[in-house]
Homo-oligomer: A and B are copies of this chain.
């Protein structure tokens, strides 16, 4: 059975995971946030196989997360720069880091702090909030059809039952 593609599903989670939901893609973006821009830099930092890195960088560039521009050395080598769309992934990366900090490391033993440069303070935990800034527990959320919902998405959401807690 061929690997199923989620790229056309009527779900932004499925499409996003299709694009960056593999073990490497967000780590490549992480390295770019830490300053990597050349193939060899990504390769050295991540210890990723060159053929895998080639495929991942191309997919990320084809989908507008990186732009690739020739290096100024006159050769054929490329430089990979995050686009605005790529920089926007910092929220997703931050959410994943904070979840991992809390759940996959000993309490208070997280490896990296994301810090506000202006104050030196670590940023607080991301939470889904109301339009007035109140943190919303999952029990207080609804998942409703958006303007791009298909008939099937509408049926699925209408059949939603709150999860048992």
Q: Is the CB of A55 closer than 8 A to any CB of chain B?
A: no
How many residues in A have their beta carbons less than 8 Å from beta carbons of B? Answer: 97
A116 within 8 A of B: yes
Give bound CA distance, A115 to B89, whole Å.
22
| Chain B CB within 8 A of A76 CB | no
Could you jot down 19 A-B contacts, CB within 8 Å? A4-B23, A12-B96, A14-B27, A15-B104, A15-B105, A18-B23, A21-B22, A21-B23, A33-B143, A88-B99, A92-B95, A95-B95, A108-B147, A111-B149, A112-B157, A116-B130, A117-B141, A121-B131, A123-B131
Copies in the complex: 2
Minimal beta-carbon separation of A76 from chain B (angstroms)? 20
- Asked if B21 and A163 sit within 8 Å, CB to CB, the answer is no
**Minimum CB distance partner of A161 in chain B:** B35
Which of B34, B85, B127 is the one whose CB lies under 8 Å from A156? B34
Contact residues of A between 123 and 165, Cβ < 8 Å to B: 123-124, 126-131, 133, 136, 138, 140-150, 153, 156-157, 159-165
- Say yes or no for A17: interface residue by CB 8 A criterion: yes
Please give me the residue from chain B that is nearest to A160 by CB atom: B34
> Inside 8 A of A82's CB, which chain B residues have their CB?
163, 165
Q: Does A94 belong to the interface (CB within 8 Å)?
A: yes
